[in-house]
Amino acid sequence: MQPYKVLILDDDETVCQSLRYLFVKQGWEVQALTNPLNAVPFIENNPADLILLDLNFRVGTDGKEGLTLLQQIKDYFPAVPVILFTAWGSMQLAIDGMKLGAADFLTKPWNNEHLVAAVRTQIQLTDKNEKNHRLTTHSSLDAIIGTSESIQTIKEWIVKVAPTDATVLITGESGTGKELVAKAVHDLSARKDHSFVSVNLGAVPEGLFESELFGHKKGAFTSAASDRDGRFKLAEKGTLFLDEIGDLALSSQVKLLRVLQEKVYEPLGGSKPFKTDVRIISATHKDLADMVVRATFREDLFYRINLLHIHLPSLSERQTDIPLLVNHFIDQINDSGNKRVKVEDHALEWLSKQRYPGNIRQLKNCVERTVLLSSKDKLGIKDFKPHLEAKLFNSAKFPKVGEVTLDEMEIKLITNALEFYSGNITDASRALGITRSSLYRRIDKYNIKYDA
């Protein structure tokens, strides 16, 4: 494999020397240029795999010189990744740079390990080797249902970024399949033989954050009756998926950032630090960049988790995929049940035109409820409509007095689920969205008879 070729554009000779020493230790070829006016002709004669560009040369500290040069470089060499590099970093500079085509934005003074990882990742992402760019057939990719352009782009992105070890931030509305994408990245990575561990940070109380992520020792707090491994330990050598990271309290953000920077954590109540080797994939439905501006999310943590970013489209932005998704959910139900259900073509067309604020999660719930509450083998618009249009607090949607009670509705739903899944409590409870114990309580409450 040929060594990476890195070009440093910085007017500070000391910085250039330090970076040259750092990169040469990696076995890379390094060149440095301190005069921005010579950049374009220099690159023409000395092709680089990546350019590290200082935003501020001798004129000022507003970054305008660097942004102007970035524009020129991207005009002449659009395929070469450029990492912006400055001691005068700001969120607005980062945004402006990304709009002009920058691949990443780092601040001085730099962390050697982080800088090397950022450079290596961006070069790997633009590697012309076909094996890094070919869309391969893989079960995790197959689980991402859709043929729309946006979904195909996401699958190609997964194939490109999975072999790297870079942090990934996945954004998108709730119910768009962020964990599915995270799992696919893990399954196509070198860490695939190790654990994929998921934690919903929005569901972790602030006081339990350290215990949940880093573990605790017996006696660390009142209810700590024994030692407990945290999520970092469980994900060792694998991938840790931090879902809803935008819900993390500022105090917890500091603790997470420290571990990501130092790659060392200490269980609550312990005295021995542990090194950690995990890949971090984060997800949120919130606008983290806006949260940084409003000082509700740390800027340094934002850059740390956002080395690579993917935004998932809402279901309304990929309506052509809805029939495929509906038939996929139907196939799943048919495979685990004792009857074969189909959806009429006009119903698929109607479903494709509806709004789904809850995205794929809402569509899946609608399909499963329709199947469970219907005795038909072929489902039409009238079968789906009540489950898609019903709103909890819209009294006009509730059955009129004397038509059906809530208890009767629940009995019918449970009875149909048990019948459909041949008495399998696990499958029925999963389809109903409740736990096995909750289902058993309802069966006992209503004295429902079923064949186990």
Q: Tell me the HSE value of 439 on the side-chain side, using a 13 A CA sphere.
A: 22
Sequence length of the chain is: 452
Written as six digits, the tokens of 400 are 């009129």
Mean pLDDT over each residue of the chain, to the nearest integer:
85
pLDDT-based confidence at residue 450 (cuts at 50, 70, 90): confident
* Nearest by Cα to 184 from 56, 367, 312: 312
Least confident of 41-55, 80-94, 289-303: 80-94
Name the strands in the sheet holding 279-284, side by side, starting at the edge strand that comes first in the sequence: 196-200, 239-243, 279-284, 168-171, 308-311
Q: Rounded to an integer, what distance in angstroms lies between the CA atom of residue 358 and that of residue 361?
A: 6
3 state DSSP class of 70: helix
Task: Return the amino acid letter for 116.
Answer: V
Exposure string over 67-80, b if 16+ CB within 10 A, otherwise e: bebbeebeeebeeb
pLDDT, tens digit (0-9, with 9 covering 90-100), for 304-318: 998 889 999 999 999
Please tell me the predicted confidence (pLDDT) of residue 192.
92
Q: Is the pLDDT reported for residue 395 higher than 50?
A: no
Angle at 201 (CA atoms; ends 391, 251), nearest 5 degrees: 125
Please tell me the predicted confidence (pLDDT) of residue 398.
42
Please tell me the predicted confidence (pLDDT) of residue 127.
64
Please tell me the predicted confidence (pLDDT) of residue 314.
94
For the segment 160-175, the average pLDDT, to the nearest whole number, is: 91
Q: Is 104 in contact with 307 (CB distance < 8 Å)? A: yes
| Residue 218 neighbours by CB under 8 Å, 6+ apart | 224, 225, 226, 227, 269
Please tell me the predicted confidence (pLDDT) of residue 251.
93
Written as six digits, the tokens of 17 are 């020397």
Please tell me the predicted confidence (pLDDT) of residue 17.
93
* Nearest by Cα to 155 from 164, 146, 163: 146
Please tell me the predicted confidence (pLDDT) of residue 91.
59
Q: What is the pTM of this model?
A: 0.65
For the segment 274-283, the average pLDDT, to the nearest whole number, is: 96
Helix, strand, coil abundance in the chain, percent, nearest 5: 50, 15, 35
Written as six digits, the tokens of 181 are 């994408």
Please tell me the predicted confidence (pLDDT) of residue 51.
95
Angle at 177 (CA atoms; ends 171, 179), nearest 5 degrees: 80
Domains of the chain (ranges; CATH) run 5-125 (3.40.50.2300), 130-313 (3.40.50.300), 316-446 (1.10.8.60)
Q: Is the pLDDT reported for residue 397 higher than 70?
A: no
Q: Is the pLDDT reported for residue 228 higher than 90?
A: no
For the segment 146-160, the average pLDDT, to the nearest whole number, is: 91
Q: Is the pLDDT reported for residue 151 higher than 60?
A: yes
For the segment 117-128, the average pLDDT, to the nearest whole number, is: 78
* Pairing of β 378-379 and β 342-343: parallel
Q: Rounded to an integer, what distance in angstroms lies between the CA atom of residue 149 and that of residue 242?
A: 27
Burial class (CB in 10 A: 0-12, 13-18, 19+), 66: buried
* Cα–chain center distance at 449: 43
Q: Rounded to an integer, what distance in angstroms lies between the CA atom of residue 64 and that of residue 362?
A: 46
pLDDT-based confidence at residue 99 (cuts at 50, 70, 90): confident
* Cα–chain center distance at 139: 18
**When comparing pLDDT for 56 and 72, which is higher?**
72
pLDDT, tens digit (0-9, with 9 covering 90-100), for 238-253: 999 999 999 999 999 9
Q: Is the pLDDT reported for residue 392 higher than 50?
A: no
Q: Is the pLDDT reported for residue 61 higher than 60?
A: no
Q: Rounded to an integer, what distance in angstroms lies between the CA atom of residue 117 and that of residue 50?
A: 13
Please tell me the predicted confidence (pLDDT) of residue 396.
39
Please tell me the predicted confidence (pLDDT) of residue 424.
80
Helix (H) or strand (E) holding 345: helix 345-352
Q: Rounded to an integer, what distance in angstroms lies between the CA atom of residue 123 and that of residue 51?
A: 10
